[in-house]
Structure 1
C-alpha cells in the first residue's frame, strides 16, 4: 500500500494476473479501478517510432542599448533534436501526453523537466505531445504571480496593479491572437513609457524596417500568416513574475516566462506540426512620476533577454519568426547547446563569451 493508501499500477497488474490464474484468496470481482487498469493495459498502443533526429536551423536576434545604460541581449538558437528516451507509456511524466497539470511556478526550478514521452511527435490533435508543455497551463494561467506588498513609492494596491499590468504586457506582446498573426502590438507598446524616447524610436524603426538592431521579435512574438498558422488556440506557458524595490523607490518587476507555440505551414493541408519556443526575461521599472519623467500607468523598459528555438536562424530580419518545417536540416555544428524547457539555468546560458547573437543547437523541441 503506497502513501495515502494508493496502490501502484505494478501491484494492480500482479493482482490481475493472480485473479485470472485463480490464486487462492484473490477476489472474484475486481474493483472498478482494477477493471480500468486492465482495460488500459489491453488497449495500450505499441511503442511509438522515434521522433526525427534533427530540427532545422533557427533564427538569431540582435541587441539594443537603451537610455538606462543596460545592454539588451537577445540570442536566438538553432534546434537539432536528439531522439528522447521513450518512457511514460501511460501518458504520465512531465513531458508525456497527459498527467495532472503542474502547479504554477513560484521559484526557479533546480533542474530541467524529465524527457518522458519525448519520442512522441506532436500532431494537429495533440500539438504539445512529447514535450513538458503537455502539462503546462495555457496563456497567463502559466505565469506565477507573487503576493503584493507595499514596496518603494507604491502601496500594496498599487503594487498589485503594477504586477497585473506587467502580466498584461506579456499577454499583449506574446499571447494576443492578432499579434501572433503579425499585427502591430499597439496595446503592449502603450504600456511602455512614451517618454522613454530611445525605446520608442527603436520600436518604430523595428516595425518600419526590421534589422538586427531593431527587431520586433526582441520583445514580441509574431508569425507571418501567409507562411505560418498556429495550431489550435492554446499557447502553453511556464514562468513567474517577481519584484523588488529599484532605483529612486521604483518597483522593479522581472518576468521570466517560456512560451510554446505549435505551428504548421500555412499551405493547405499541412499537418507537419513543429513548435517555436521562446523564453523571455524582461525587466520593467514602475517609476515614481515625482522623481522620473514617466507617464502614470506605464513602465520604463530596463532590459530583456531571450532564447528562441525554431524561430529561424540567419541574417534575414523579417520581423516574424520563421519556423522550419523540413525534416532533414541538422543545424550548424559546434554552437552552444540549449534545452529550451530547462528553466533552472539563466537565459543565455551557454553562449560564447561576448556573443549575444549566437545560433546553436537545442536538445529537444
Structure 2
C-alpha cells in the first residue's frame, strides 16, 4: 500500500495528508490526556478505602444543609433543669418564688443613712423564722455586733481598750443572746460585768427581778421571755449593730453600744403555728473607769445610760418579760405610734410610751 492511500485503495490529497500528520504530532484538541502521577496516586488511594466512592481530584462537593440542633439543645437544657430541681427542690422553688434569703450584709461600721428596703410580704415559718424580714440577711448572734479596731484612750493602752471592747460585747451577748436568760433565768454572767459599787444600778438589779416596775424593769437591760407562755423558734437570734468608743469623764474609756436584736417566737401551747418577731433595739453607754479615780472592780464597767425601742413585746404594766401578741392578743384598733423597727438611721428612743399605748411596728 502506497503512501497517501486509504485501506480501500482510495487516495488522499497532499493537503489532507499533511493535516493528518500535523494533528498526529500535536494531538487532537479533544483527545483524552493521560493522568499525572499525582492524580493516579490519589485515585488509587481512594479506591482502596472501603465503603467510599472515589472522588475526583480537585472536585467540589456542595455543602449539606445544617442539621436542626435548636430543639436538641432546648431538650438537653430542660433535662438538666429537671435534674437540679429533683436534687435540690427547695432552693430552686424559692428562687422562682422570690423567697431566697438576701445575700449577707456587710458589717455595720457607722449609722446608716436610711432604713433597709422593703422585703416581699412573706409569712415566717419554723424552718425560716426570718422570712420576709430585713433580718434574713443579718448576721447571727455576736457576729452581728461590730467591734472597732482598738487604740489607746485615756488611762488605757490599745491592748486594754481591745480587752474592754471584747468584754462590752460579752455583756451584750450575756444580756440579750444567752439562751437561759432569754428563757427567764437570772443573767448572772451579765451582772458580774457591772461595777458592784454603782449604787443606782445595783438597786435596780435587787428589785427588778422580784417586783418589776416602770422604773425597775429588767427589760431595761436584759431580754427575757416567759417560758410558760413563749418559746423561741430555732437557735438563732439575728443582730445588727456596732460598738464605738471615745474618752469619757476623768480619762475613762466610754463605749457606746447600738444593737438591734430580732427574736422569732411562738406561743408555748400552740404547736408553733403562729410566729411573731419581737424586735428590740438597745443603746447602752458604758464607762470603763480609771480605778485610781473611781471606785470600781477590775474587769467591770459602770453604766452611764440605757434606753431601748421595742415592738411586738407587749404593753401595759411591766411583768419583767416580753409579752409578744399572738392572734387575739393583738390590739383590735392597732393604736399607737408607728415605727419601723429595722430603721437604724435614727437615734434610739424609748421602747414603750406612757400608759397602755404601744409603738406599732410597720413591719416585723
Same structural fold, with TM-score higher than 0.5 when normalized by the shorter chain: yes
**Counterpart check, 1:345 vs 2:346:** yes
Q: Which residue of structure 1 aligns with residue 361 of structure 2?
A: 362
Q: Which residue of structure 1 aligns with residue 189 of structure 2?
A: 187
In the TM superposition, residue 145 of structure 1 has moved relative to its aligned partner by 1.0
- After superposition, residues 182-221 of structure 1 pair within 5 angstroms as 182-221=184-223
1:102 aligned residue (81, 91, 105): 105
Q: Which residue of structure 2 aligns with residue 280 of structure 1?
A: 282
Looking at secondary structure, tell me which structure has more helix per residue: 2
- After superposition, residues 240-251 of structure 1 pair within 5 angstroms as 240-251=242-253
**Counterpart check, 1:322 vs 2:323:** yes
Cα RMSD for the two superposed structures? 3.3
2:109 is paired with a residue whose SS is: coil
Distance 1:356 1:293, change over 3 A: farther
- After superposition, residues 124-135 of structure 1 pair within 5 angstroms as 124-135=126-137
Count of aligned residue pairs for this structure pair = 294
Distance 1:350 1:286, change over 3 A: closer
Contact 1:336 1:351 in 2 (8 A): no
1:278 is paired with a residue whose SS is: strand
TM-score (norm 2): 0.73
Contact 1:88 1:116 in 2 (8 A): no
2:271 aligned residue (257, 269, 287): 269
Higher RCO (CA 8 Å, separation ≥ 6 residues): 1
In the TM superposition, residue 142 of structure 1 has moved relative to its aligned partner by 0.4
TM-score (norm 1): 0.73
In the TM superposition, residue 258 of structure 1 has moved relative to its aligned partner by 0.3
In the TM superposition, residue 329 of structure 1 has moved relative to its aligned partner by 3.1
In the TM superposition, residue 264 of structure 1 has moved relative to its aligned partner by 0.7
CA distance in 2, matches of 1:252, 1:323: 33
Give unpaired runs (5+ residues) of structure 2.
1-66
In the TM superposition, residue 115 of structure 1 has moved relative to its aligned partner by 1.1
1:114 aligned residue (114, 117, 122): 117
Query: What CA deviation, in whole Å up to 9, does each residue of 1:144-169 have, x standing for no partner?
Result: 11000001110000000000000000
Distance 1:254 1:356, change over 3 A: farther
Give unpaired runs (5+ residues) of structure 1.
1-21, 49-86, 92-96
Distance 1:252 1:23, change over 3 A: farther
